[in-house]
């Protein structure tokens, strides 16, 4: 029987030498504070281990997160699915339906107890007994909580799972809830945005499978590597803001020259995301570069912060830093244990404990 393509096969195929791979394992072991034997263990694990099972569930949502995920340019999503993770359940692309689909969930809970990642797109509505989102004849919220029981970590994809998003905008008729309002005992990595950037999504997943630990998160549970700075901090139009050069009306001279969109309602100064650096769809552009202000889609409650075209008033045009810092709340809660993916349980417990503490 031919062996499955492992993480090692994949990186070799991508041109990484055996030598660099060994070095990577030693460094990882060292950074985790393990002895010399550990490097070999890590190398073995990455060469022979099973791909991490991922269960991707959908609540109330629009599927933009899944659509974004498949846009990933690096890694390509086919490589993620065929070689990096085992996407055993995802309503949007899986072959099975009905009973055969439900059976996969049962089986995963049994076979991979405590070892699978639960990725959640969308959120559970609580009104009407949860039946505004029915899955297998039952409320989605039940199914979600049931699958949470045996997951080792949870990824909250997009604004829906992280904050509630559009269906939770005032007056939130279905009582749609971000998942951390119904899941309390597991670490949740929040990857907000409507949707999140494709390479940020695959970046978070492959970070876990590559480095064997969860990424460092900020106090709101977002990976710091992508969400610790504002769009405005890294915006290429920032010099125009500093120089007081603004677009005053759509398609005016300033718009054509690429001036700052702050006066057109841009929420870049209060939005933590990677759009102005990673950019979108393989780096082609991002909202500001294409002439529209940022609508702040990765921020909690962005639908209820007034019109997208209203100028931010809580910010002073100059000395913006002091004010915006209050908004951002990136913080110190350094999380992220350090253990190969399958053995991350201890770390997970620590993170969970920390999160509980932070919540109090």
| Concatenated DSSP letters of 236-284 | TTHHHHHTT-B--STTSHHHHHT-B-GGGT--GGG-BSSTTTT-BTTTT
Q: Is the Cβ of residue 120 or residue 335 nearer to other proteins in the bound state?
A: 120
DSSP string covering 202-218: HHHHHHHHHHSSPPPB-
- Cβ proximity to other proteins: between 294 and 347 the closer is 294
List the interface residues with other proteins, window 138-197 (CB under 8 A).
138-142, 165-167, 169-177, 181-182, 194-195
- For the chain, the distance separating the N- and C-terminal CA atoms, rounded to the nearest angstrom, is 52
CB 46 within 8 A of CB 16: no
Q: Tell me the window of 31-39, 82-90, 339-347, 350-358 that interacts with other proteins (CB under 8 A).
A: 82-90
Q: Of the listed pieces 134-142, 219-227, 313-321, 349-357, which binds other proteins according to CB under 8 A?
A: 134-142
Binding flag, residue 200, other proteins (CB under 8 A): no
User: Residues with Cβ < 8 Å from 360, sequence gap 6 or more?
Assistant: none
The reply to whether 292 sits near other proteins by the rule CB under 8 A is yes
**Minimum distance of other proteins from residue 51's CB (angstroms):** 6
Residue 56's DSSP bridge partners are: 90, 119
Selection from 342, 283, 292 nearest residue 71 by Cα: 283
Beta bridge partners of 246: 260
Instruction: State the minimum distance, in angstroms, from the CB of residue 99 to other proteins.
Output: 8
Q: Which one of the spans 34-42, 121-129, 209-217, 317-325 is the region binding other proteins (CB under 8 A)?
A: 121-129
> What does each C-alpha distance from 223 to 57, 108, 187, 270, 272 come to in angstroms?
21, 27, 12, 17, 11
Stretch that binds other proteins, among 20-28, 62-70, 216-224, 352-360 (CB under 8 A): 62-70
- Report how far residue 252's alpha carbon sits from residue 254's, in angstroms, rounded to the nearest whole number: 5
- Residue 105 touching other proteins (CB under 8 A): no
Question: If binding is defined by CB under 8 A, does position 76 make contact with other proteins?
Answer: yes
CB 322, min distance to other proteins, A: 29
What are the strands of the beta sheet with 116-121, ordered from one edge? 85-90, 52-58, 116-121, 151-157, 188-191
Q: Is there binding between residue 128 and other proteins (CB under 8 A)?
A: yes
Q: Which of 152, 70, 165, 55 is nearest to 108 (CA)?
A: 55
Least distance (Å) between residue 345 CB and other proteins: 21
Name the residue nearer to other proteins (CB basis): 28 or 56: 56
Rounded to 5°, the CA angle 233-236-239 comes to 80
Does the footprint of other proteins cover residue 308 (CB under 8 A)? yes
Does residue 244 bind other proteins (CB under 8 A)? no
Query: Should residue 100 be labelled a site residue for other proteins when binding is judged by CB under 8 A?
Result: yes
Single residue of 75, 130, 178, 187 touching other proteins by CB under 8 A: 130
Any contact of residue 273 with other proteins (CB under 8 A)? no
Query: What separation in angstroms does the CA of 30 have from each of 27, 38, 213?
Result: 5, 9, 14
Choices 26-34, 123-131, 211-219, 225-233 (CB under 8 A): range interacting with other proteins: 123-131
106 binds other proteins (CB under 8 A): no
């Amino acid at each position: 029987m031919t062996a499955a393509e492992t993480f090692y096969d994949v990186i070799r195929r991508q041109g990484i030498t055996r030598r660099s791979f060994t070095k990577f394992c030693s460094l990882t072991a060292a950074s985790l504070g393990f002895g010399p034997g550990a490097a070999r263990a890590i190398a073995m694990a990455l060469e022979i281990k099973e791909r991490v099972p991922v269960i991707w569930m959908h609540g109330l949502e629009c599927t933009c997160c899944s659509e974004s995920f498949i846009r990933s340019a690096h890694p390509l999503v086919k490589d993620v699915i065929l070689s990096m993770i085992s996407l055993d359940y995802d309503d949007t692309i899986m072959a099975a339906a009905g009973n055969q689909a439900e059976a996969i969930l049962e089986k995963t809970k049994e076979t991979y107890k405590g070892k699978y990642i639960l990725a959640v797109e969308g959120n559970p509505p609580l009104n009407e007994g949860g039946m505004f989102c029915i899955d297998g004849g039952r409320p989605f919220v039940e199914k979600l909580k049931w699958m949470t029981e045996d997951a080792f970590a949870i990824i909250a994809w997009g604004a829906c799972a992280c904050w509630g998003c559009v269906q939770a905008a005032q007056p939130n008729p279905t009582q749609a809830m971000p998942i951390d309002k119904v899941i309390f005992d597991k670490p949740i990595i929040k990857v907000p945005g409507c949707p999140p950037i494709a390479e940020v999504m695959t970046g978070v997943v492959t970070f876990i499978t590559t480095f064997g630990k969860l990424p460092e998160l900020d106090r709101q549970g977002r990976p710091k590597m992508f969400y610790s700075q504002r769009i405005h901090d890294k915006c290429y139009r920032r010099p125009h803001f500093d120089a007081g050069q603004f677009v005053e009306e759509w398609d005016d001279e300033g718009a054509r020259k690429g001036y700052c969109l702050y006066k057109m309602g841009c929420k870049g100064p209060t939005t933590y995301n990677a759009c102005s650096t990673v950019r979108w769809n393989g780096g082609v552009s991002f909202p500001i570069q294409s002439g529209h202000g940022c609508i702040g889609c990765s921020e909690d409650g962005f639908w209820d912060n007034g019109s997208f075209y209203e100028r931010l008033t809580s910010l002073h045009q100059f000395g913006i830093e002091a004010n915006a810092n209050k908004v951002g709340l990136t913080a110190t809660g350094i999380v992220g244990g350090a253990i190969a993916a399958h053995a991350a349980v201890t770390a997970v417990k620590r993170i969970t404990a920390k999160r509980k503490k932070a919540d109090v």
